[in-house]
Amino acid sequence: MIQTLRAWYDRHFSDPQAIILLLTLAAVFATIVIAGGTLAPVLASMVIAYLLEGMVRRLEKWGVARLIAVIGVFLLFLLFVVLVIFLLLPQLYNQTRELVTELPVMIAQAQTALLTLPARYPDLFTEAQINEMVTTLRDDMAAIGKSVLTWSLSSVVGAITVLVYLILVPLLVFFFMKDKQLIIRWLGGYLPSNRGLLNIVWRDVDRQIGNYVRGKFIEILIIWLVCLITFIWFGLNFAMLLAVLVGLSVIIPYIGASVVTIPVAAVAYFQWGLGSDFYWVVAAYLVIQALDGNALVPLLFSEVVDLHPIAIIVAILVFGGLWGFWGVFFAIPLATLVQAVLKAWPDTSVTTAR
């Protein structure tokens, strides 16, 4: 047994570059797990700077000096933030408040519909089952009400946190883009000079993650805009709120689209009942989801991610459990990182045989 473990160790860990790669990854993951909450503004700024770097590189290819390109892209980013704060967030707040106000009416309608089921389908539903379902529905709505109240009581602390983010994050984003090469050289000074394996993994992951993050951001914007136009065209209530939910749902492959179908169908049902408008909205929503999965995603991510669906779902569960929203968002890039490491990891037995 000891000889087998020794042979396995010599096979995979005898190369010093493999140890350097392993220690570097362990240090990065440990830093994020231990100090992720404290460093959240820094991590968010790095993600945004990474997202904007593609535009900066494109401007540099067109002959624009890097500093000018960084300033131009940064000003566009600030304009986007201003539009989100002053145009999008007020609408989301108002529609969320209206939805919470209308919840009691929706609950009453749902209870009425449920109570008719035993008479219409006596072989499938009993009165006791329906009463249990109604009680569960009331308890769930009460829990949601308590959560909303708790959130409102802590909104002052949340507002202060948002203000801090609004000041720190743009500054950090600007300096991350402006001094990118300086920061990379500074970090490289603490790494061993013999780090060829680390460089190989980084180049592969840099290409994969950069394309994925930018592609995912474009996908969110497209799906949000198409859903917003569609919902407004049909006159669906809470169009902006639902369109944002659908747009954000693409972050979680396979699962997000299924989950967000429930609020879209529920709002349409309580607004029109099982009429033609309801079926038209649901059909349009399903068409959008089908076009997203079969046309938009292959177009944006044709050569980015080569992972089995099981690997993607496992990555979402693992990294989402570790880092919440950001873990879910970066589940696929992180899984790609693991795949790149496994692919590049040296096998000394193969090298020896050659």
Structure-token pair, residue 125: 């539903």
Look at residue 88 and tell me whether its pLDDT is greater than 70.
Answer: yes
**Stretch 154-166: mean pLDDT:** 63
Q: What is the mean pLDDT of residues 240-252?
A: 89
C-alpha to C-alpha distance for 256 and 329, rounded to whole angstroms: 12
The DSSP code for 192 is: -
| CB count in 10 Å sphere of residue 177 | 24
Q: Which two tokens stand for residue 10?
A: 């010599």
Answer yes or no: are the C-beta atoms of 208 and 336 closer than 8 Å: yes
Identify the DSSP state of 63: T
Farthest-apart Cα atoms in the chain, separation: 77
Reported as a single tens digit per residue, the pLDDT across 285-328 is: 999 998 887 788 777 765 555 666 777 778 778 877 777 766 77
What is the average per-residue pLDDT within 226-248? 93
The whole-number pLDDT of residue 280 equals 94
pTM of the model: 0.75
Reference 250, options 230, 223, 231; nearest CA is: 223
Q: Roughly what angle, to the nearest 10 degrees, separates helices 256-272 and 89-115?
A: 70
pLDDT at 9 over 60: no
Pairwise CA distance, residues 12 & 21, whole Å: 12
Strand locations in the chain, DSSP E?
A: none
**CA distances (Å), origin 209, targets 86, 294, 337:** 30, 21, 8
Question: What DSSP designation does 345 have?
Answer: -
